[in-house]
């Protein structure tokens, strides 16, 4: 591995100056901080010394060694061609199903490789990680299997299902702060007090090497792949995959994908201002900035970054469930969303998209599926005016039944309406077979003398 060293100030977290090489070409280490009574640097000693930050750029051999090391404890996930999506998108699309790992995420690869790299003394001390999702579960699961005590620090806003899933793997859970940044501050204090080893979710060379094993498997299964599409959050997955893929096949294209609301790589690659903030279903890649390792790798190892809107992410989640019968979280579906949003970029190419994870809240998934049905015309909403007299609603229902429209909801409004006094406004939600069936329903209502307003998520449908 190639190493890069730099001094950092603990008070400002700002790079000060590079270390000069000395003796046999090795960098000079900083003065060692005084250990506390528990064997870890005390808060006082941390203030007395400049900290050194070590950033290591892995190579192909490192990734191959990591792949061999972790292979017996992970699922060798399939990479299969999607015939239906290939036809729809005009490309030959393969999907790498990392959502089939035991904890439903590629994060297991990096976490396990990091844990296996620890010395016996480090294993006895235990590990600590900050995460609100997939990384937390990956560390907890493999730490338990290896007999390593694990502490997971999570924001108080973490959904309870993720907290309980992580606790079920035997980890000690510390809930603190409203976001990951504040949780990380508490983790720093716990790490210092207990002398624990930090397992970073992406900015660690051992983690990057583990994630890079995804690309090795892809090229074993699809050796003539032309484009590799990978989600970008902190950058650990795409960094490892890009190093491995470019080393084995320099001509392959590596394309990153980010949620449009968290466009943080543009500033690194193109010099534009980063976009950060806002809600997104791709919370797994909603990271404010890529890690330092990714910053050193992405400019030279990836070909393009695409930014996908929320509607494309939702559609990708729905299509993967409907067509591939697989559950993907928003971040996990980002690769497919990129193909949906930029079909010409991939047309007639052999593409592999990494489905990086499948941990999605069931209520979120239900909402996505409902909205997908609306966009496809399989759920329709209409508003019309009826005479306020007995039998009027029954007559309307019979008219709809004649064209096989199933009524899901009825809202009958007499007071909060501008309809005439002896009329009522009725809003219906219908189950249909699609847009063509909606047109058939429209024609039947017109023939029966009803004037209906069709509504969709954006208001009135023409």
In a domain, 234, yes or no: yes
Question: Which residue among 371, 390, 406 closes a domain?
Answer: 371
Burial pattern 130-154, b for ≥16 Cβ within 10 A else e, equals: bbbbbbbbbbbbbbeeeebbbbbbb
pLDDT of residue 325: 97
In a domain, 457, yes or no: yes
Pinpoint the alpha helices (H) of 222-361: 236-248, 266-269, 292-301, 310-324, 334-341, 343-346
Phi then psi dihedrals of residue 197, to 5 deg: -100, 125
pLDDT of residue 419: 67
Residues 211 and 356 in one domain: yes
Question: Which residue among 195, 221, 254 closes a domain?
Answer: 195
Q: What is the mean pLDDT of residues 388-410?
A: 91
Residues 246 and 316 in one domain: yes
Residue 329, pLDDT > 80, answer yes
Closest CA to 112 of 68, 153, 152: 68
Question: Which residue among 144, 175, 195 closes a domain?
Answer: 195
pLDDT of residue 277: 77
Confidence of residue 1 (pLDDT cuts 50, 70, 90): low
Does the pTM surpass 0.95? The reply is no
Residues 331 and 186 in one domain: no
Residues 187 and 320 in one domain: no
Full domain range(s) for residue 17: 1-56
CA torsion 68-354-288-245 (nearest 10°) is 50
Residues 356 and 279 in one domain: yes
Residues 290 and 190 in one domain: no
Check: CB of residue 352 under 8 Å from CB of residue 228: yes
In a domain, 117, yes or no: no
Residues 245 and 326 in one domain: yes
CATH classification at residue 145: 3.40.50.1100
Give the number of domains in the chain: 4
10 vs 65: CA distance, rounded Å: 34
Q: What is the mean pLDDT of residues 18-43?
A: 37
203 vs 216: CA distance, rounded Å: 20
Residues 219 and 90 in one domain: yes
Instruction: Give the residue, 193 or 418, on which the prediction is more confident.
Output: 193
| Predicted confidence (pLDDT) per residue in 263-282, tens digit | 888 877 877 777 877 889 99
If you ran DSSP here, which 8-state letter would residue 366 be given? Answer: H
Residues 447 and 315 in one domain: no
Q: pLDDT averaged over the chain?
A: 86
In a domain, 255, yes or no: yes
In a domain, 271, yes or no: yes
Q: What angle do CA 158, 123, 194 make, to 5 degrees?
A: 65
In a domain, 122, yes or no: no
| Predicted confidence (pLDDT) per residue in 123-162, tens digit | 999 999 999 889 999 999 999 999 999 999 999 988 787 8
Check: CB of residue 183 under 8 Å from CB of residue 152: no
Residues 166 and 183 in one domain: yes
Closest CA to 268 of 241, 244, 232, 242: 232
All residues at 6 or more sequence positions from 262 whose CB lies less than 8 Å from its CB, including other chains? 275, 276, 277, 278, 280, 282, 285, 286, 287, 288
Q: Which helix (H) or strand (E) holds 356?
A: none
Residue 14, pLDDT > 60, answer no
CA–chain centroid gap for 182, Å, is: 21
All residues at 6 or more sequence positions from 213 whose CB lies less than 8 Å from its CB, including other chains? 63, 66, 67, 70, 71, 109, 240, 244
Confidence of residue 16 (pLDDT cuts 50, 70, 90): very low
């Amino acid at each position: 591995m190639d190493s890069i060293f730099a001094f950092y100030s603990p008070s400002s977290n700002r790079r000060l100056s590079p270390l000069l090489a000395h003796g046999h070409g090795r960098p000079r280490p900083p003065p060692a901080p005084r250990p506390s009574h528990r064997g870890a640097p005390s808060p006082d000693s941390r203030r007395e010394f400049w900290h050194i930050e070590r950033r290591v750029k892995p190579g192909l051999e490192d990734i191959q060694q990591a792949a061999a090391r972790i292979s017996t404890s992970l699922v060798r996930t399939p990479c299969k061609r999607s015939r239906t999506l290939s036809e729809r998108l005009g490309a030959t699309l393969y999907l790498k199903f990392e959502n089939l790992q035991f904890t439903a995420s590629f994060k297991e690869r990096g976490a396990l490789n990091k844990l296996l790299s620890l010395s016996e003394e480090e294993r006895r001390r235990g590990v600590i990680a900050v995460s609100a999702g997939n990384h937390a579960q990956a560390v907890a699961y493999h730490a338990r299997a290896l007999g390593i005590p694990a502490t997971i620090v999570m924001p108080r806003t973490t959904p309870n299902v993720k907290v309980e899933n992580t606790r079920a793997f035997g980890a000690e859970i510390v809930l603190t702060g409203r976001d990951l940044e504040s949780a990380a501050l508490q983790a720093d204090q716990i790490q210092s007090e207990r002398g624990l080893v930090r397992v970073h979710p992406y900015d660690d060379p051992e983690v990057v090497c583990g994630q890079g094993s995804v690309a090795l498997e892809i090229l074993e299964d699809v050796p003539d792949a032309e484009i590799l599409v990978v989600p970008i959050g902190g950058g650990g997955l795409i960094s490892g995959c890009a190093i491995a893929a470019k080393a084995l096949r320099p001509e392959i294209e590596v394309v990153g994908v980010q949620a449009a609301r968290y466009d943080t790589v543009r500033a690194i690659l193109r010099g534009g201002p980063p976009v950060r903030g806002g809600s997104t279903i791709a919370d797994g890649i909603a990271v404010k900035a890529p890690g330092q390792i990714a910053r050193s790798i992405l400019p030279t190892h990836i070909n393009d970054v695409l930014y996908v809107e929320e509607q494309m992410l939702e559609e990708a989640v729905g299509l993967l469930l409907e067509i591939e019968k697989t559950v993907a979280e928003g971040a996990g579906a980002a690769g497919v969303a990129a193909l949906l949003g930029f079909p010409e970029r991939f047309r007639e190419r052999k593409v592999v998209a990494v489905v990086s994870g499948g941990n999605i809240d069931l209520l979120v998934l239900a909402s996505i599926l409902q909205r997908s049905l609306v966009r496809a015309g399989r759920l329709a909403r209409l508003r019309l005016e009826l005479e306020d007299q007995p039998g009027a609603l029954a007559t309307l229902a019979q008219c709809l039944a004649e064209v096989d429209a199933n009524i899901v909801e009825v809202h009958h409004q007499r007071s909060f309406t501008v309809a005439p006094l002896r009329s009522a406004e009725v809003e219906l939600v219908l189950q249909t077979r699609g847009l063509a069936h909606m047109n058939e329903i429209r024609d039947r209502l017109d023939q029966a003398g009803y004037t209906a307003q069709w509504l969709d998520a954006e208001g009135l449908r023409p």
